[in-house]
Chains A and B, each alone.
Chain A
């Protein structure tokens, strides 16, 4: 669905690269996570893939089309949700979707159904200018599905939404994936990536550090950890110990034999911890 070879991009048209020689493939039906801290080059990459930014160096095939050529009909197969919501503030929610639907040559989804899907029912006739930030964001997200896209670009689909609504959006993405939609998901939220993505790419300073499935990453980089809380001299003490470390394993035995255990959990390293381990940087 997407094939990117040696893509670079500089906003200033010089050696300062926002995206530096990246290559990756996204196969049909896959949910591909593009993860990295702010300023890593995620939106820049999505911009080039969707044709909004002029391609400078490298080769990009998206949904069978070479992005170097201007072929507007390719957008019949593509849906794009933007990081910053962009809907017509003078039009109502429904008018926004109706207008957009008319720009496609393929069968489109019912605007009212989409509005309901993202939890905006009852707001069909309200002008988008009166919407809150999160509501506009959801409308932008809903709009990206209007042409039943085969390939779906989502830039930070859940950022700034409250947990319930974020969960709804996650469910919609899962549902689309189940129906075979290929998704290019840009985010700096590792939990979402972990939950939704078949594979993730770690990008930092315009460079892709690695690409793998979340499971493989955890097996490779994550160590099983045990959190133990026990009482010693009337005080609660907390320790985190690695199950693969001999010294730590002995210590677990000691604690279990000698103290009163309050809680004991095993846990996996999160994608976030792995990201820090791989890149040496946090995700903010």
Chain B
């Protein structure tokens, strides 16, 4: 049985590598990951960048260097030039009384808050040694925008696995080969597992590569894989259904794209709905998967929460699976 499943898997991989649509689907997440890396601020800047004047009080500069990366400039003109560069830099310039903070305007709020706070602490005379307050609230090491984008990319990659399966099914339908496989000892379930393995492995591979490209090395990988595999179930069901319902690749791709709507809806719901309205998204497995992944990516995940989220994904996906099963069985025979 296992050998047969692997044969189906191997054939599907081989065929996908010869199909331009499939290659596009496989490569797309990686390209997106590179794009996210290029267009969002660096992940490993764990502190805020500051620009300061050389004429400033040396103890001020030293103080700030404890908490931020400080660049020193000779005059206000150079400081303004620096602040206006693409990355996020805040400048602290002494005035006659107090300080002025100069921003380009497109920095994350956190940069502004952090700079203001740091400077207040200096003015208050608090030292790192004697403070009882921790700076953990500023412990976001990754710009939230980037985490959000990467998380969206994961959701998309999972759905692409479905599209890959749909493309493969459409190919089998065009060649009329499902009949040929149906008169071999390979069982229908073996056929389904083999194809799902192809979609699943490609998607998990893409997710892992994308996370490495975007720089999420020290996250809990077990959690990522667990959430990924669970949310793939739904992608498989969608892939088989759409593949069987479509007559050509374009139609299949279009049909699978339709499913991106609830995915996008769930993400928007999670990000924008107030806490008291979050329950309106509980029906969506995509919502739970997105939530779990966000916690893992921002390193705020604990097992109970992740297990709750995956449990919800699993239950909702299995419900869809069992609803769709008769249709899939019929389509494949």
Contact status A73-B15, CB under 8 Å: no
Q: Is the interface of B mostly helix, strand, loop or mixed?
A: helix
B positions within 8 Å CB-CB of A: 3-4, 7, 10-11, 14-15, 18-19, 171, 174-177, 179-187, 333
Contact status B183-A50, CB under 8 Å: yes
- Interface status of A84 (Cβ within 8 A of chain B): yes
* 1/0 contact string of A89-108 vs chain B (CB within 8 Å): 11100010001101111000
Contact status B175-A103, CB under 8 Å: no
Q: Which A residues touch B175, using CB under 8 A?
A: 86-89
Contact status B186-A72, CB under 8 Å: yes
Q: Which A residues touch B183, using CB under 8 A?
A: 50-52, 75, 78, 80
Q: Tell me the complex Cα distance, A64–B4, Å.
A: 24
Q: Which B residues touch A95, using CB under 8 A?
A: 11, 14
- Interface status of A221 (Cβ within 8 A of chain B): no
Contact status B179-A105, CB under 8 Å: no
Contact status A86-B176, CB under 8 Å: yes
Q: Which B residues touch A230, using CB under 8 A?
A: none
Contact status A91-B187, CB under 8 Å: no
Contact status A91-B14, CB under 8 Å: yes
Measured between C-beta atoms, what is the minimum distance from B168 to chain A in Å? 10
Q: Which B residues touch A90, using CB under 8 A?
A: 14-15, 18-19, 171
Contact status B19-A52, CB under 8 Å: no
Q: Which of B11, B174, B176, B182 contacts A99 (CB 8 A)?
A: B11
A positions within 8 Å CB-CB of B: 50-52, 54, 72-76, 78, 80, 82, 84, 86-91, 95, 99-100, 102-105, 140, 143
Q: Which B residues touch A51, using CB under 8 A?
A: 182-183
Measured between C-beta atoms, what is the minimum distance from A53 to chain B in Å? 9
Measured between C-beta atoms, what is the minimum distance from A64 to chain B in Å? 15
Contact status B185-A72, CB under 8 Å: yes
Given contacts A103-B184, A104-B185, A105-B185, contact A52 B179 (CB under 8 A): yes
Can you list 13 contacts pairing A with B, beta carbon distance less than 8 Å? A54-B333, A74-B185, A80-B180, A82-B176, A84-B176, A88-B175, A88-B177, A90-B14, A90-B19, A91-B14, A100-B184, A102-B4, A103-B185
